[in-house]
Structure 1
Amino acid sequence: MGKQMTDPLSKLPLFATDREIAIAVVGKERASMYVKAAIPILERHGFPKIDPLHDGRPVLLVRRFYNGYLGITAGFQVARPDGEDKLGEWKGRRQRRNERKPQLGLNTRCLGALRYMVEHPDVRTSAEIPGATDFTLQELAAKGAVKEGRKDAQGDRTWTVTDAGQEEMARVNDWHGGKRRL
């Protein structure tokens, strides 16, 4: 039977000093370089911070960090200590979530007017939108969701939904799972 490789982190206490972790990760000869140069870089990529109560880093979280760094555990972001971030290759879960989130910060009244306009593309004036006024549509225009057009035959201002307004409504529907929050 072959000799089994032991995990050097398993020999450390539950909370270890930077020097102890460095020796376990890169060995005694390169430990001081690791403490001075590598740890500050790794911290920016999620390396566990020193726990002030225990005066050391939690070794279980250090192991979890390195499992992700080495690609062993799916779902962890891989840190790039050389400073090279390839954002096109990966995106954090929070960033993907924020891209889905509504961006324009519309209040309920504006959201209702925008929804009505998207669902009824033939509607052009505030008089045709339940609960909306020109002020509501001016707010939507300020956010880029609609744009003002020419006046109609009755002298009312006309408005059309912009691409940004369509995209915002799609984000709102996606964010709330198609459920209306009005």
Structure 2
Amino acid sequence: MLRRVLAPLLLAALAACGGPGLPTRSQSLAQALQNAPEAMELEPLSVRQELLRELYRAASAQAGQPLEGAFVFPVAQSGAIEGAPAMDPHADLFLTADAGEPWQLVFEGRGERFGEERRDSFQGLSEREAAELVARSLMHLWHLTPSSPVRVERVTGAPYAAAWVDGVLRINPVLLPLAASPAP
């Protein structure tokens, strides 16, 4: 008797488990920015694309606003800090459109170093090469006109994706696998 009752219950429980579903996003953009960049590289493409869309939405909402709380793209120039200019939500940060601007980027500094090994998560580029494309794209999209070499710094765990602070572009490496995952 017990066997007749338990067998259907067990079958129903197993059927309810189902198979693997679609990947779901397990973290917010703010959480993702403060995690290790390697963790973002392991996320499914659809999750990275959704986080990139969320990044662009947040950037549009914060564009030109004075700094209050955490911004995804803060820009500090001449003593004022505000959100960077809005970007096209379909912008490809790996497609640099600097139109031959003579910007000299400097990656050697006393902080963290960008990796030099090529990775699939960066479309076959190294982390440093990906950072250079993203840096040039952001500088172009933000209409920056530096008069001296721009130092590009790697800042793991920063609460922002990238920040411009008086001639220094600080890039959270979590931005790079997101930038390498543009929406179709």
TM-score (norm 1): 0.30
**Which structure has the bigger radius of gyration?**
1
